[in-house]
Every structure is written in structure tokens, then in C-alpha cells.
Amino acid sequence: MKDTKFIYTPEIPEVFRCRVPLPGTSQAFVNNGVLREESLSPKGLSVTSAGETGFSLVASRGSVPEESMQIICFRDSGNTNDIAFTNRMIFEESSDSSVLLCTHTLTLDRFKTDETIKISVEKSAVANIVVMQNEHNDSSHSVKFEIDIQSKGYLRINVISLHGLFLENDFVVTLSGEGAVCELNGAYLVDGNQTVKSNVVMNHMVPGCLSRQLFKGILDDESRAHFSGRIVVARDAQKTEAYQANHNLLISQNAKAYTQPQLEIYADDVKCSHGATSGILDQNALFYMRSRGIGESEAKLLQQLAFVYDVLEKINNEQLRQRLCDLTESRLRGEFSHCSNCSMNCC
């Protein structure tokens, strides 16, 4: 921990300390939509205000920051009204950077948050973004990602939804330059009466672009998950490769998963596929593990962890990947069950 660089904003109104930060991480706080303090990491990765609300993150041209940036967005009793704000993330030409976005709720008030994140990945830029969502049982949070990727730009977004009454992630992606690449991955864990929605529109507008989508969810109790994914390949977008998959594991008979994969293709020289499944735990695998001395509850847990690891392994930062694997295991073990009547932050 001695090598970890923490930049904590003064006068945070609640007792708060995020447990995810890693060595070489700068931090910025967004409290009820308002950036509390501007942040700058070495080699050109900065976070500034985007007006009265929201933030603007810029990775300057050609920069390759050694540090990643963590932006912690949280709601508290300072403003319990419904709020909406817009953030901007610009990854300038030939930059290479990593960003972690965390969302939390620090009090038990009923929060409704509508957030728009506009992302521009310029020519030959590389951006890795991890989004971790952990909010309480009376929180509603909708995020709309408006994304443009230019020639040879690369963007990977991994969304890990750990907790929240209603979480919606809406992606509208435009691959506007030849050779652009976009990877969207999501893992969502829901139980009780929680609902998670994931909506994707992937627009291939020019030739030679690649997109991949993988969304996986584990649903228990009476929870709900909705996935809608549409890949659009324009008439001139030859040599397109586009892949989409959504898989759901239903632990309870009362849990429901709704999935709607779609392809809309106007070009003829493409490689595109989509698929969706919903199912229960593999009883043969459970029997095998139990025959090797593994208890029933532990066998079920191991199968669930293996199911979502396909998404978690796509996080390129090894330390962050391990931390989120640990949080996922804690969530599946039921260690977040106190969230229904607690405002303390678990992550």
C-alpha cells in the first residue's frame, strides 16, 4: 500500500474510502454530479469540471500515462433530488490510457441518477475503461454511453454491476474510421427484486472495423435482466467483423432474463454472429464436484464464478481484475446481503 498514490478530495461529507484503488492510481471524486477537485496524473491524463455538473477527462495527444485514473461517482444526503449530468472523455490521437469508473451510494435515500458519458477515441488511440457499479437497494441509475471511435482507435469497456435496485447501461457506438475496434463486456449479478438492463447499438459505418460484445449475468430470487443488442453494418462497411453474445445463469425459478440480439446488415463481405442463452446450473458438473468431496453450496459457487470469469478475465490490469474477482465472489457468497439496510460502501 505504501506505493499507492491516493488523491482524496477534502471535506467529503460521509466516511468514505474506496477499497479498489491500486498502486499507481490517481483519483477524482464526483459528488451528486459535481466534481469536487480537479485531478492530473503525470503524462497528460486530466479530469476537470465540464460545467456546473459532470466531468471532462482528457488523455492528451501521444500520452502514455503510467498511472491509471479512478473516478468515483457517489450520491449522498447532500442532494437527494433526481439528478442528470453529462460527462466527456476524450482520448486524443495516439494516446494509451486506463480509467476506472466507480458508482456508489452512501446514504439510504432514494436516489435516481441519469448520466450521459460521451466518449471520443481519436486516431490510433487506445482506451481501457472499467465501470464498477455498487449501489444500495433503493437506487436507480441509468447511464448512456455515446461513443465515437476513429481510424485505428481501440476501446474496451468492461462493466461490472454488483448491486443496485435498477441499473441501466445504454451503449450507442459509432465506428467511424477504418480499422476501429470496440469491445464491450458486461457481468451483472442480481437478486431480490433488482433489475439490470443492457442496451447496445453497434454502428459499423466504414470498412475494416471489428466489434465484440460479451454480456453475462447471474440472476437469483425474483430479479430481472434485459439485454437488447443491435449490430448495424452500413452498405459500404465491407470487411466488417462483429460478434455478440449474451448468456444468463438462472439460480431461481422466479428469476427472468429477456434477451434480444439483432443483426442489421447491408454489406455482403462481412463476418457477423450473435447468440443468446439462458439456463440453470449444470447438474452433471455439480454431481462431479460433489463426488470429489466439494460441498453443494461451494460447488454451486465455483460454477457461478467460472461462468462470469469469461468477462472478468478481459480486464487488462491484473491487480484490478483480481480485486473485482474477489468482490464478485463476496457478492455471490451473500456477503452483500446487508446492503438492503446499510449505506456503507463495500468496495
The per-residue pLDDT string of the chain (347 residues; one tens digit each, 9 = 90 and over) reads 445 444 444 454 444 556 555 677 888 999 999 999 887 776 789 999 988 999 999 999 999 988 889 999 999 999 999 999 999 999 999 999 999 999 999 999 999 999 999 999 999 999 999 999 999 999 999 999 999 999 999 999 999 999 999 999 999 999 999 999 999 999 999 999 999 999 999 999 999 999 999 999 999 999 999 999 999 999 999 999 999 999 999 999 999 999 999 999 999 999 999 999 999 988 988 888 888 888 988 999 999 999 999 999 999 988 899 999 999 999 998 765 554 544 444 44
Whether the Cβ atoms of residue 187 and residue 312 lie closer than 8 Å to each other: yes
Report whether 80 contacts 105 (CB < 8 A): no
Alpha helices in the chain (DSSP H): 283-291, 296-312, 318-332
Domain ranges of the chain: 25-339
Please, which residues have CB within 8 angstroms of residue 306's CB and are 6 or more apart in sequence?
none
Residue 278 has a pLDDT of: 93
Closest alpha carbon to 106 in 151, 138, 129: 138
pLDDT attached to residue 336: 59
C-alpha cell at 226: 434485459
CB 66 within 8 A of CB 23: no
With 0.85 as the threshold, say if the pTM is over it.
yes
**Distance set, CA 73 to CA 27, 28, 33, 141, 177 (Å):** 11, 9, 7, 11, 31
Backbone angles phi, psi at 49, to 5 degrees: -70, 145
3-state secondary structure of 322: helix
β-bridge mates for residue 275, sequence order: 245
Backbone phi and psi for residue 274, each to the nearest 5 degrees, phi listed first: -145, 155
